[in-house]
Structure 1
Amino acid sequence: MPSATNIDRTQSYPIIHARSAKKIGANEKAARNCAGNTMNRTIVEGKIVVCDNDYGNQAIQWKSEEVKRLGGTGVIVIDDKSMDLSYIDPSFLVTIVKPVDGLEIMSYINSTREPIAMIMPTRSRTGHELAPSIPSFSSRGPYLLTRSILKPDIAAPGVNILASWLIGDLNAAPQGKEPPLVNIESGTSMSCPHVSGIAARLKSENPSWSPAAIRSAIMTTAVQITNTGSHITTETGDKATPYDFGAGQVTIFGPSSPGLVYETNQIDYLNFLCYVGFTYDQIKRISTRIPQGFACPVQSSKGDISDINYPSISVSNFNGEESRRVSRTVTNVASRLIGEEDTVYNVSINAPKGLRVRVIPRSLHFKNIGDTLRYQVIFSSSTSTLKEDAFGSITWSNGMYRVRSPFVVTSKADI
Structure 2
Amino acid sequence: MSCPHIAGAAALLRAIHPTWSSAAIRSALVTTAGILNNMGKPITDASGKEANPFLFGSGHFRPSKAADPGLVYDASYEDYLLHLCSIGYNLKNLTRNNSCPKNLPPPHNLNYPSVAIPKLNGTVVVKRIVTHVGSSRSIYFSSVKPPVGISVTISPPILYFNQYGEKKSFTIRVQAESTEGVGENAKNKYRFGWYIWRDSNGTHSVRSPIAVAFS
Matches within 5 A, 1:36-75: none
The alignment status of 1:260 with 2:68, answered yes or no, reads no
Equivalent in the alignment of 1:199: 10
Equivalent in the alignment of 2:88: 277
> Post-superposition shift, 1:229?
1.5
Equivalent in the alignment of 2:101: 296
Gaps of 5+ in 1: 1-189, 335-339
Letter in structure 1 aligned against 2:107: I
2:37 touches 2:60 (CA, 8 Å); kept in 1? no
In structure 1, what is the Cα distance between the partners aligned to 2:111 and 2:144? 19
Partner-residue secondary structure (3-state), 2:203: coil
Greater Rg by CA: 1
Matches within 5 A, 1:111-150: none
Aligned residue among 354, 375, 394 for 2:195: 394
Pair 288,215 (structure 1): closer, same or farther in 2 beyond 3 Å: farther
1:332 touches 1:366 (CA, 8 Å); kept in 2? yes
2:73 touches 2:111 (CA, 8 Å); kept in 1? yes
Letter in structure 1 aligned against 2:123: S
Matches within 5 A, 1:26-41: none
> Post-superposition shift, 1:222?
0.5
The TM-score, its normalising length taken from structure 1, stands at 0.48
Gaps of 5+ in 2: none
Partner-residue secondary structure (3-state), 1:409: strand
Partner-residue secondary structure (3-state), 2:50: coil
Equivalent in the alignment of 2:141: 346
User: Where has structure 1 moved over 6 Å in runs of 4 or more?
Assistant: none
Equivalent in the alignment of 1:225: 36
1:307 touches 1:327 (CA, 8 Å); kept in 2? yes
Partner-residue secondary structure (3-state), 1:376: strand
Letter in structure 2 aligned against 1:397: R
> Post-superposition shift, 1:403?
0.5
1:217 touches 1:261 (CA, 8 Å); kept in 2? yes
Equivalent in the alignment of 2:94: 286
> Post-superposition shift, 1:278?
2.5
- CA displacement, residues 244-266 of structure 1 (integer Å, 9 cap, x when unaligned): 01111111311101100000112
Pair 231,218 (structure 1): closer, same or farther in 2 beyond 3 Å: same
Let me know the Cα RMSD of the aligned residues. 1.9
Equivalent in the alignment of 2:207: 404
1:313 touches 1:405 (CA, 8 Å); kept in 2? yes
In structure 2, what is the Cα distance between the partners aligned to 1:288 and 1:249? 39
Equivalent in the alignment of 1:331: 131
In structure 1, what is the Cα distance between the partners aligned to 2:168 and 2:51? 32
Letter in structure 1 aligned against 2:164: I
In structure 2, what is the Cα distance between the partners aligned to 1:233 and 1:345? 31
1:234 touches 1:240 (CA, 8 Å); kept in 2? yes
Identical columns (%): 34
Of stretches 267-276 and 357-366 in structure 1, the one that deviates more from structure 2 is 267-276
In structure 2, what is the Cα distance between the partners aligned to 1:370 and 1:289? 30
Letter in structure 2 aligned against 1:296: P
> Post-superposition shift, 1:288?
5.2
In structure 2, what is the Cα distance between the partners aligned to 1:406 and 1:313? 6
Letter in structure 1 aligned against 2:136: E
In structure 1, what is the Cα distance between the partners aligned to 2:159 and 2:56? 28
In structure 2, what is the Cα distance between the partners aligned to 1:289 and 1:371? 31
Matches within 5 A, 1:234-245: 234-245=45-56
> Post-superposition shift, 1:381?
2.1
User: How many correspondences in the alignment?
Assistant: 207
> Post-superposition shift, 1:315?
0.6
More contact order relative to length (CA 8 Å, sep ≥ 6) = 2
In structure 2, what is the Cα distance between the partners aligned to 1:247 and 1:287? 31
Letter in structure 1 aligned against 2:101: C
> Post-superposition shift, 1:394?
0.6
